Amino acid sequence: MSTDDGQTEQVEALLTTPHLADALESEQFRHFLDQVPIAIAVSEMKGAERIVYANPEFEKISGQSSAELEGKPWSYLPGQDEKGERKLGAAIVDASDFVGTFRIDRAGQGPTVVDAYSNIIVDNDDTPAFRLSALVDVTAHEQAQREEFEQKIREKDTLLQEVQHRVKNNLQMITALIRIETRNARGKVESARFDRLAGRIDAVQRIYKLLSEQKPGDEIDLGAYLSEIASSVMHSHAVEGIRLDLKVDSYPVSVNVAMPAGLVVNELLTNALKHAFTGRDGGTITLHSLVEGDSCRVVIADDGVGFPAGVSWPQHGKLSALIVRSLRDNAKADLKVDSTAGKGTRITITFKRASAAA
């Protein structure tokens, strides 16, 4: 049996002792309570209820002397529950038996955590005569529980990082397999859809990579993330004569903003490499993600042929439209699309720091 369990049983036995009301009026019994290794205090309930006795252990736990407590109401006691919603003194008066766990901050000493008990003792006429309160120091027990909880959190963090690592590796493998199948399928089936799917999975895989390198709750550096996506797209769809103008600032955002932003950039860069320079020897694709005050402006542009007549982006009903809507919902982003035949395309995405933060 633990010390806490043993003290709890002693408290319960004391609260149910027959004729305790008579015993409390005996100096001999009070001397006995002085030796009890449990914090005991008693109030008299005739007239205005006031504390009439507190043993040395109660003085030690509460941080107040018996002289200070005697003649005072229970509200004089320090201490409150962990949420700061219940005061120890009020709980002793309002409840009975086990009334809760409370933290007492003692002047010049460290805080202590106690389990509090309260019981009314009646006289021979069944009239409330005394209230007995007992405090059991459970500070060490609470600390052990807290350390156990923190250990579990650390174990879960480690497990989460392992899951993220495995997801990242699986996504990387899926991307590679899709690209292999795309190369094998060229000339047999329309392979552009496979390319787009591989690019989108790669964008997701890269954000998992960044997450696995950070602490839980950290934000994603949008500039670094978009740089990685741009590098991957240019490598996967390399076209001779086409250069990338890349400029990015560090800009922390939540994963719910980084994810759709990365997918939009992946989509637009891939489209530009495949379609913007048809019939031309080369050109320039621009990706800028620059901080302007408390805002971030992302520009994806090219000096290619522009959208064909009657074509817009994003197209209603397509996945790109869903991704853009997610970006607007999650970051309150403003999106502007400009395309001129023969002069190229320019998409500008702007969002505020307050809306993009985690």
pLDDT tens column, 266-285 = 889 988 988 899 888 889 99
Classify 90 as helix, strand or coil: helix
Does any domain span residue 284? Answer: yes
pLDDT bin (cut points 50, 70, 90) of residue 15 is very low
What pLDDT does 289 receive?
A: 95
Mean pLDDT over residues 32-42, rounded?
A: 79
Boundary-marking domain end, from 166, 188, 218: 218
Q: Are residues 244 and 348 in the same domain?
A: yes
Whether residue 297 is found in the same domain as residue 255: yes
pLDDT at 2: 45
**Do 74 and 106 belong together in one domain?**
yes
pLDDT higher than threshold 90 for residue 129:
no
For the residues 244-251, what does the mean pLDDT come to?
Answer: 94
- Is the domain of 188 the same as that of 310? no
Query: Residue 91 domain-assigned?
Result: yes
Of 80, 115, 137, the last residue of a domain is 137
Here the CATH number for the domain that contains residue 19 is: 3.30.450.20
* Co-location of 293 and 272 in the same domain: yes
**C-alpha span between 237 and 31 (Å, rounded):** 90
Most confident stretch, 111-125, 131-145, 157-171, 198-212: 111-125
* 55-78 mean pLDDT: 89
Shared domain for 155 and 131, answered yes or no, is: no
Contact indicator for 314, 321 with CB cutoff of 8 Å: yes
Domain range spanning residue 11?
3-137
Assess whether 18 and 123 both reside in one domain: yes
Q: Which of 89-98, 105-114, 168-177 has the highest mean pLDDT?
A: 89-98
- Whether 154 and 266 map to the same domain: the answer is no
- The answer on 133 and 14 residing in a single domain is yes
The answer on 178 and 241 residing in a single domain is no
Q: Is the pLDDT score of 22 beyond 90?
A: no
pLDDT at 135 exceeding the cut of 90: no
Phi-psi region of 227 (alpha: psi -120 to 50; beta: other; left: phi over 0): alpha
Specify the pLDDT at position 162: 57
Residues 6+ apart with CB under 8 A from 20: 14, 121, 130, 132
Residue-averaged pLDDT of the chain? 77
Range ranked top by mean pLDDT from 12-16, 93-97, 246-250, 261-265: 246-250
Would you state the pLDDT for residue 178? 55
Query: Which pLDDT score, from 0 to 100, does residue 327 have?
Result: 84
64 in the same domain as 12: yes
Sheet of 344-352: strand order equals 242-248, 283-292, 295-302, 344-352, 334-340
Domain count, the chain: 3
**In terms of Cα–Cα distance, which of 256, 252, 281, 285 is closest to 268?**
285
Angstrom CA distances, 80 to 100, 117, 219, stand at: 10, 14, 36
* 148 or 220, higher pLDDT: 220
Residues 184-233 pLDDT 10s? 555 554 555 556 566 666 666 666 566 556 555 567 889 988 998 888 88
Distance between CA atoms of residues 259 and 225, nearest Å? 9
Average pLDDT over every residue of 158-182: 55
Nearest to 145 by CA among 105, 101, 181: 101
| CATH code for position 356 | 3.30.565.10
Strands 242-248 and 283-292: parallel
In a domain, 229, yes or no: no
Local confidence band at 345 (pLDDT 50, 70, 90 cut-offs): very high
Do the domain assignments include residue 143?
A: no
pLDDT at position 172, please? 56
Mean pLDDT, residues 113-127: 82
The residues, ordered by sequence, that sit 6+ positions from 113 with a Cβ below 8 Å of its Cβ are: 101, 102, 103, 104, 137, 138, 139, 141, 142
**Structural domain contains residue 88:** yes
Residues 306 and 279 in one domain: yes
Kindly indicate the confidence band of residue 298, based on its pLDDT and cuts at 50, 70 and 90: very high
Q: Is residue 144 part of a domain?
A: no
Residue where a domain terminates, one of 82, 113, 137: 137
Which position has the higher pLDDT, 51 or 83?
51
H-type alpha helices, the chain: 3-15, 20-24, 27-35, 56-62, 66-69, 88-94, 139-185, 192-212, 222-236, 255-271, 319-331, 353-356
pLDDT above 60 for 70: yes
* Domain assignment present for 357: yes
Compute the average pLDDT of residues 327-355: 88
Residue 227 forms part of a structural domain: no
Q: Which residues contact 259 (CB under 8 A, 6 or more apart)?
A: 203, 204, 207, 326
Tell me what the mean pLDDT of segment 169-189 comes to: 55
